[in-house]
Chains A and B, each alone.
Chain A
């Protein structure tokens, strides 16, 4: 296997892209699921406020999602830009 400098850099970028998106996806998935679970619990206790609770859940999840999107952006940058 012929390994040159540019080749190693490209390889590192690809590996970095996979690791970034892979690890970065763990947290948002767990966190957003927790938010959804608590929302279900709250709607179970107080079904009349379902609309308000769903809105709160979605806003909270959107914030939690942001780190997943950062990972996606970094992965795409590593793949296609740098």
Chain B
């Protein structure tokens, strides 16, 4: 057992940086690959437009890339920023920050690939509405990035806030739990938002007159798909800012770690599911715009049911933090 605190802080910073960049690279690469594949398909369908499709692909990929650039920034910060006052709590919070940013970038990277890919295909189908498609893609993929931005905010707080006055046990677990909660929950919301945005780019290309209702349905659906990551953020904030009484029992630490795991994992499924519901609704608003009100209503009912497990997960987390 090495007792030198500085060593442990460095270990945590380097491991955290590795986790942030490693996980963070997954999503953006998948999303950009999907975009490139769809762009190739679009060019093969309409070779005259290859320049336009190429431009659209690069813009879309640049947005998908941003999630992994957030991860890169956090990783570089953790490698080179010299933390004042090394404590074991700082080691825990750095590890949590790495986990949070890495996991949080996965969903947004994958999600942003969908609208970009569908915008390329749509462009080859309806070159005349290129501007509308581009605007729609930019709005949709910007919303997909929000979970990655939540993760970056939590990671920066974990890196720069001073937790050294809190008792090491159980605060270390609360800080790692805070990272897991926002990081994991962001996976579902990022992907879900992408499904909705992809369907809306497809819809605008299929039936450009419906662009208004399609974008509205997309934004409402994406907003609901974002909620699991907002639950994750809420639990992270509680874990970071609540003062926990010192307790050397293992159970107190495990409880706070589990609070982060519960809301974090629990947010993945509802985020993806809400996104699928929104995808279905958006696709059919474009095909059958007279029924857009009814489709929006059914989408919201379905999403509310899909959402329930994220709420259970949050309730279990709140019980772990405040009750047991």
Contacts and interface: CB of A to CB of B under 8 A. Distances in A.
Interface residues of A, number: 56
Interface residues of B, number: 66
B261 A18 contact: yes
Which of A8, A15, A31, A61: most chain B Cβ within 10 A?
A15
Contacts of A80: 324
Contacts of A24: 266, 309
Contact of B257 (A18, A47, A75, A79): A18
Contacts of B250: 1, 3, 7-8, 10-11
Which of A40, A41, A69, A72: most chain B Cβ within 10 A?
A40
B76 interface: no
B199 to A, nearest CB: 9
B249 interface: yes
- A interface secondary structure, majority: helix
Contacts of A50: 294, 298
A21 to B, nearest CB: 4
Interface string B169-201: 100000000000000100010001000000000
A6 B258 CA distance: 18
Contact of A12 (B254, B277, B280): B254
B196 to A, nearest CB: 10
A36 B265 contact: no
Given A12-B254, A18-B257, A29-B268, A36 B273 contact: yes
A19 B255 CA distance: 11
A15 B257 contact: yes
B275 A33 contact: yes
B248 A32 contact: no
Contact of B253 (A11, A12, A39, A75): A11
A76 B322 CA distance: 14
B222 interface: no
Contacts of A57: 298, 301-302
A74 B288 CA distance: 44
A79 to B, nearest CB: 5
Given A15-B258, A25-B265, A40-B302, A33 B313 contact: no
Contacts of B313: 21-22, 25
Contact of A54 (B275, B276, B301): B301
A47 B17 CA distance: 52
A1 B277 CA distance: 47
A61 B266 contact: no
A59 to B, nearest CB: 11
B259 A36 contact: no
Contact of B312 (A11, A13, A14, A68): A68
Given A22-B184, A36-B303, A65-B305, 7 more contacts: A10-B249, A17-B262, A18-B258, A21-B313, A22-B261, A58-B305, A71-B309
Interface of A: 1-3, 7-8, 10-19, 21-41, 43-45, 47, 50, 53-54, 57-58, 61-62, 65, 68-69, 71-72, 75-76, 79-80
Interface of B: 169, 184, 188, 192, 228, 248-251, 253-255, 257-281, 283-285, 287-288, 290-291, 294-295, 298-299, 301-303, 305-310, 312-313, 315-317, 319-320, 323-324
29 contacts: A11-B253, A14-B254, A18-B320, A19-B258, A22-B261, A22-B262, A25-B267, A25-B312, A29-B268, A29-B273, A29-B274, A31-B273, A33-B274, A34-B276, A36-B280, A36-B298, A36-B301, A36-B302, A37-B276, A37-B277, A39-B298, A41-B284, A43-B295, A44-B295, A57-B301, A65-B305, A68-B308, A79-B316, A80-B324
